[in-house]
Every structure is written in structure tokens, then in C-alpha cells.
């Protein structure tokens, strides 16, 4: 069965410190993985997708098929990064399966 | 461009009552999704439409939940009768269905249901 696991419910970091959000998945096919973010009082929105191999707002994520992971990283956290982050697996066309989410709190 | 619109934003009902949520997707988006997000959990797909046809409703509790997308545009999700465990945020999302599909879903603000 497909599964997306985000082991940390809450991640508290200081401004300027590195932050890494863990995401592990189980899927027998070729996965498409995404990170979605929900800022306070805003809609859930796409942050980045693994196929783009891009950096968005300083965040990067690398798909590691050997470890079945897609961890999200940022070298220097900012206060505006405080949000709820969801890792998501696209099983087939359009069907996203989300993890439980990690709340990130960046303190000054 | 206008985003995904949902209403109502909040609804409080008693158990065994019925409720309906409405969604208007982004213009031109063929695919529409309803997700249920229970507090502390990630969104869970209830039903996916492509145009006015159902693609996946395997997670929809069909004894009490129903959804339709007439004319392939707006959609309505209904719960009848509601149970306490239906308390959640109901998210509507839409996406393009084309060769340029990047997999991005565009979400509405959600409809928060409280069942007492």
C-alpha cells in the first residue's frame, strides 16, 4: 500500500538555523513527490515538486529512491517560513496522497 | 485569475442532520477533487471528478456522502446523515488535465464542518 510518512508533527527552529523536514514514502511504482505548504490563514499551495529540481523560497528537496525519502531542506530558516508543510505522493494522474504534516515554527 | 471558491466557510450542525458544500473550480480546470481534512491529519481524498465523470470515489463513505459535478463545472458534496466523526475541513481542489499537467492542485479555502 502507498504511504507517506512525516515523522515530525512539530519542528521548532531558530531564525537563521538550518531546517529539514523529513518525508518517507512507500510506493511500488515510479513516484511523483511534492511539498505543499499552508501559511496561517492561507490556502494550501504547492511549494515544490521533485521533477522540477528547483529551489523555491530557498527550499530544496531531493528524491532518494534508495531510501524512499523526499526530505525538504533550507539552510537558513526565516520567520516567514513558519507554516504547515505536507509531503504528498502522486500515485496516478492527479491523485495526491498527503502525509500528516509537519508544523514549522521559526523563532527569532 | 480567480481561485477555487467554496461555500459555506463554516457550518455547525447536529448529528443526523444533513449538510451540503459547494465548490466552483478555476475556469478551464477539468479535474476537481474533494478532500477531507480531520484535525491533526493530512488531507484525504474523498472523490475525484474529471469533467462530470467520477474517476475515483474509493474513499467516499457512500452510505452517507454523495457528490456530483453537473455540467463538469461546479460541484456539491453532501453528507446525510452527519456523524460526529465527520467534523473536519472539506477542501475542494482543481487541476488542469492536459499534457502540460504539472500535477499541481489548486485548493479552495475549505469548509469547516462541526458536528455536535
- pLDDT tens column, B69-90: 988 899 999 999 999 999 999 9
pLDDT-derived band at B103 (thresholds 50, 70, 90) equals confident
Which one of B39, B105, B108 makes the best mutation probe of the A interface by having the most chain A beta carbons within 10 Å? B105
CB within 8 Å: B43 and A94: no
Instruction: Pull the grid cell for residue A84.
Output: 504547515
Would you call B53 an interface residue with chain A, using a CB distance cutoff of 8 Å? Answer: no
- pLDDT tens column, A9-23: 999 999 999 999 999
- pLDDT tens column, A59-87: 999 889 889 999 999 999 999 999 999 99
Please check the confidence at residue A45 and state whether its pLDDT lies above 90: yes
Say how far apart CA A37 and CA A6 lie, in whole Å.
14
Host H or E run for residue B100:
none
How close does chain B come to A18, measured CA to CA in Å? 24
pLDDT-derived band at B101 (thresholds 50, 70, 90) equals low
Host H or E run for residue B77:
strand B75-79
- pLDDT tens column, B13-49: 999 999 999 999 999 898 999 999 999 999 999 999 9
Residue A3 CB contacts under 8 Å (≥ 6 apart), including other chains = A25, A26, A27, A97
Please check the confidence at residue B99 and state whether its pLDDT lies above 60: no
How many residue pairs bridge chain A and chain B with CB atoms within 8 Å of each other?
56
Which chain A residue shows the shortest CA-CA distance from B6?
Answer: A43
Please name which of B11, B3, B7 lies closest in space to residue B114, comparing C-alpha atoms: B11
Would you list the DSSP string of B5-37?
A: EEE-SEEEE-TT--EEEEEE--TT--EEEEEEE
CB within 8 Å: B45 and A96: yes
Say how far apart CA B63 and CA A44 lie, in whole Å.
29
User: What's the Rg (C-alpha) of chain B?
Assistant: 14
Instruction: Pull the grid cell for residue A94.
Output: 492527479
CB within 8 Å: A100 and B107: no
pLDDT-derived band at B11 (thresholds 50, 70, 90) equals very high
CB within 8 Å: B104 and A49: yes
B49 strand-pairing partners? B32, B54
Which is more confidently placed, A38 or A92? A38
User: What does the mean pLDDT of chain B come to?
Assistant: 93
Please name which of B73, B92, B107, B43 lies closest in space to residue A96, comparing C-alpha atoms: B43
Amino acid at each position: 500500500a502507498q504511504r507517506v510518512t512525516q515523522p515530525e508533527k512539530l519542528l521548532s527552529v531558530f531564525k537563521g538555523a538550518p531546517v529539514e523536514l523529513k518525508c518517507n514514502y512507500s510506493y511500488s511504482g515510479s513516484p511523483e513527490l511534492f511539498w505543499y505548504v499552508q501559511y496561517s490563514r492561507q490556502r494550501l499551495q504547492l511549494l515544490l515538486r521533485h521533477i522540477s529540481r528547483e529551489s523555491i523560497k530557498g527550499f530544496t528537496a531531493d528524491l532518494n529512491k534508495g531510501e524512499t525519502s523526499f526530505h525538504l531542506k533550507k539552510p537558513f530558516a526565516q520567520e516567514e517560513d513558519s507554516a504547515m508543510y505536507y509531503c504528498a505522493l502522486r500515485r496516478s494522474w492527479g491523485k495526491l496522497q498527503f502525509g500528516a504534516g509537519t508544523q514549522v515554527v521559526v523563532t527569532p | 485569475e480567480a481561485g477555487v471558491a467554496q461555500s459555506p466557510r463554516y457550518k455547525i450542525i447536529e448529528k443526523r442532520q444533513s449538510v451540503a458544500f459547494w465548490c466552483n473550480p478555476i475556469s478551464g480546470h477539468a479535474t476537481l477533487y474533494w478532500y477531507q481534512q480531520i484535525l491533526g491529519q493530512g488531507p484525504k481524498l474523498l472523490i475525484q471528478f474529471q469533467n462530470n465523470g467520477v474517476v475515483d470515489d474509493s474513499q467516499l463513505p457512500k452510505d452517507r456522502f454523495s457528490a456530483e459535478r453537473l455540467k463538469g463545472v461546479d460541484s456539491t458534496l453532501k453528507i446525510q446523515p452527519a456523524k460526529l466523526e465527520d467534523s473536519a475541513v472539506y477542501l475542494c481542489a482543481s487541476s488542469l488535465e492536459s499534457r502540460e499537467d504539472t500535477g499541481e492542485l489548486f485548493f479552495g479555502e475549505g469548509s469547516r464542518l462541526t458536528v455536535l
